[in-house]
């Protein structure tokens, strides 16, 4: 009996030690693209941030991430606006991880009133507002030039309804070591991109390039070259919808000779900073 107890105790200690090692901070920032505007960002302190989780319906999502549990423990959940290709899996992720879903204030009010998530999981904030979802990580909402509705299937009627979902936003995500990521959300060109870049000094920009619904390669290149001048850009929001025809190659050609590093990822690939 005593021997069996000691074996069980040893197994428990090893399991806990292995889990702690797997989640140990690496001191680096890891950014994985999952298609469209969905990213899993692992911070230097080991926290996991997920943005715009359109995963299960997304044709570009790697098969293993169709299972939301494969993301691991999610600490911070950010949604830029109410369109389904940004919001679809967010409520389930919030429930699975028992965390708030941070999104534009009016959108979250609608999500709460419709009963999609309870009030304690739909905190409200707005552009220029900053929240601290977990210690050491600060998220500021900034302007994005786009639209936002939320399509919800009414369980009483079985019919889809379109609800106002506030104004879309982008996010400045500041990590524990001061590294700043600008997730632009869905956006067209607007001249205050220059102000946002000058004021917040992002180290990395996650930038839509697909066109039709957002900036295309030429517009994204202009914003990068003339206004933002970021150290690094990861192109996003292309390829999942037939109308999002822009490509990283077109973006790089339009950008020309620049100091900005362009990091074209395939879904499931990571960049480390």
Whole-number pLDDT of residue 18: 28
Record the tokens describing residue 191, joined without a space: 């001249």
- Please name the residues in contact with 95: beta carbons below 8 A apart, sequence gap of 6 or more: 117, 121
pTM for the structure as a whole: 0.89
pLDDT along the chain (273 residues), means of 10: 41 33 63 98 98 97 96 98 97 98 97 97 97 98 97 93 96 97 98 98 98 97 96 97 95 95 97 97
Joined tokens for residue 104 = 């534009």
Residue 228 and residue 220 in contact, taking contact as beta carbons nearer than 8 Å: no
CATH number of 26-272: 3.60.15.10
Report the phi/psi class of residue 128: left, alpha or beta, with left for phi > 0 and alpha for psi in -120 to 50.
left
Q: What is the pLDDT of residues 141-171, one digit of tens each?
A: 999 999 999 999 999 999 999 999 999 999 9
Domain parsing of the chain, residue ranges: 26-272
């Amino acid at each position: 009996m005593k021997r069996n107890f000691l074996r069980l105790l040893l197994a428990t200690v090893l399991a806990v030690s292995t889990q702690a090692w797997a989640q140990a901070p690496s001191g680096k920032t890891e950014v994985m693209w999952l298609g469209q505007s969905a990213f899993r960002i692992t911070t230097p302190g080991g926290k996991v941030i997920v943005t715009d989780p359109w995963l299960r319906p997304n044709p570009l999502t790697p098969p293993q991430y169709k299972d939301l549990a494969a993301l691991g423990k999610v600490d911070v959940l950010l949604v830029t606006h109410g369109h389904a290709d940004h919001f679809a899996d967010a409520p389930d992720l919030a429930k699975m991880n028992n965390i708030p879903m941070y999104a534009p204030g009016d959108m979250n009010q609608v999500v709460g009133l419709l009963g999609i998530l309870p009030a304690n999981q739909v905190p409200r904030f707005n552009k220029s507002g900053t929240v601290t979802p977990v210690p050491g990580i600060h998220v500021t909402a900034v302007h994005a030039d786009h639209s936002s509705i939320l399509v919800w299937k009414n369980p009483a009627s079985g019919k889809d309804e379109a609800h106002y979902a506030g104004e879309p936003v982008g996010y400045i995500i500041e990590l524990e070591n001061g590294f700043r990521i600008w997730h632009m959300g869905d956006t067209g060109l607007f001249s205050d991109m220059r102000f946002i870049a000058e004021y917040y000094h992002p180290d990395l920009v996650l930038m839509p390039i697909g066109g039709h619904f957002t900036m295309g390669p030429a517009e994204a290149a202009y914003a990068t070259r003339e206004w933002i001048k970021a150290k690094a850009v990861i192109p996003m929001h292309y390829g999942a919808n037939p109308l999002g025809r822009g490509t990283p190659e077109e973006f790089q050609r339009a950008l020309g000779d620049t100091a900005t590093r362009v990091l074209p990822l395939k879904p499931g690939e990571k960049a480390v900073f």
